[in-house]
Structure 1
Amino acid sequence: MNINARIAYRLRELRNARGYSLDALAERSGVSRSNISLIERAQSSPTAAVLDKLAVGLSVALASFFEDAAGGTKAAPPSPFIGLAEQPVWQDPASGYKRRRLSPPAPSPLQLVEVVFPPGGRVALDSAVHDADIHQQIWLLAGRMELTVGDTAWTLSTGDCLSMQLNQPVVFHNPGTKPARYLVALTTLARPAHRLASPTVLSARNDP
């Protein structure tokens, strides 16, 4: 399955699981009904910004669009192993950044993603998923990155790690002349019904 077909399948799967019509998701996400329909038919290559809006509308992490289809069979349950050649790679048509899903298909509360961000590249994501507690840590393996989380700006050099909750806008920018490479560890926590608010930036040691 190529990457656009994977995104198309997962978008339909997530939308149907929530019982949303195309019109309902368009209203929740701010992405037009026609654009959603094109993406679900694998006739459009969505940008990171569009996928982020859809993720917010569905109350999931953007990474959900790159997962394998839900479930499995008794004969072939999801594997706990994935080789390098099978790891899905997607490139944002707008910024050129590349993301590789490292995690195997077997269900896990933790997801790992590798990102290579081109020099001068910039991506602004809403990332305000209010109906789920989605947390991620970004560990910079090479290069430099500037991240603005809400109103707070962070500059990361090689080896630095930043932790955040995806409930506010995030801007990713590579100010350097070389590609930046970083690892993203992502998890979704169950949210108690009585919780009305959560902290934003969890911690940082000074990362679509």
Structure 2
Amino acid sequence: MTEHKESPTDSDPQDVVRHLAGQLKALRSSRGWSLDATALATGVSKAMLGQIERGESSPTIATLWKIAKGFACPLSVFLSSAPQPSTELVFRSATELRAKPARDDMLVAPLFPYDPRFAFELLELSLLPGYVRHSDAHATGVTEHVIVLSGEMEVLIDDTWHRLGKGDAVRFAADRPHGYRNLSKASAVCHNLIHYPAGTATE
């Protein structure tokens, strides 16, 4: 059995910015898309896309999701390097991987980036006090699982906010509008496992 320990390359803010810029360029190149075509597919302006590619702008998580949806790829593509396909045993550290990939008040640790063998990505999310995010619908069939590790947070499902405390969990269809918020005075930390059915995500 092969053991693999991931290095904390994603924890440095500049590394995150460079990775995001490089991935966006690589995805555009692989599809032969211009910035205009990418803007049309993602709903993100050509100006913003150009700024992201040049490392001049930090997008919101909502913008990253729009880009990911436009490319039909998982969110973690923009957060971390692809997993090593030959490894069977992998150790990851949230402390080492935790970073602020966007200008939102949320930290993200891509514990297990998307792997087509398993069809999911597992993220640790830290919602800072006062954080609110409304998310557009993801691709058809995408499902999210949220497990609260500490603090309190709320998840918007079918236009209703549901409170979750430490140890609470919820699974819901993410192919419809949904949201997250933390109205308390302390950070809330959760695991977010996002499952992509066959045909809804590419690397």
TM range, normalised to the smaller chain? 0.7 to 0.9
Out of 74, 91, 110, the position equivalent to 2:100 is 91
2:74 is the counterpart of 1:65: no
2:171 is the counterpart of 1:163: yes
The one-letter amino acid paired with 2:132 is R
Local SS of the residue matching 2:144: strand
Distance 1:168 1:104, change over 3 A: closer
1:173 maps to 181
2:68 maps to 55
Q: 1:143 Cα shift?
A: 1.1
Among the aligned pairs, what percent are the same residue?
28
Looking at structure 2, the residues matched to 114 and 44 of structure 1 have their Cα atoms a distance apart, in angstroms, of: 23
Distance 1:79 1:22, change over 3 A: farther
When the two structures are aligned, how many residues end up with a matched partner? 186
2:3 maps to none
2:129 is the counterpart of 1:115: no
Taking only aligned residues, the RMSD between alpha carbons, in angstroms, comes to: 2.8
With structure 2 as the length reference, what TM-score do the two structures score? 0.77
Task: Name which of structure 1's ranges 113-122 and 90-99 shifts more when overlaid on structure 2.
Answer: 90-99
1:189 maps to 197
Out of 44, 51, 74, the position equivalent to 1:38 is 51
Q: Deviations over 1:113-167 (max 9, x none)?
A: 11111111111221x233x532220101111111112423321111111112321
Which segments of 5 or more consecutive residues in structure 1 lack a partner in the other structure?
193-208
Q: Would you say the 8 A contact 2:77–2:114 is kept in 1?
A: no
With structure 1 as the length reference, what TM-score do the two structures score? 0.76
Distance 1:8 1:34, change over 3 A: same
Distance 1:59 1:93, change over 3 A: closer
Distance 1:96 1:135, change over 3 A: same
Q: 1:111 Cα shift?
A: 2.0
Local SS of the residue matching 2:149: strand
2:39 maps to 26
Distance 1:94 1:3, change over 3 A: closer
Which of the pair has the greater relative contact order for Cα pairs under 8 Å at 6+ separation?
A: 2
Q: Would you say the 8 A contact 1:142–1:181 is kept in 2?
A: yes
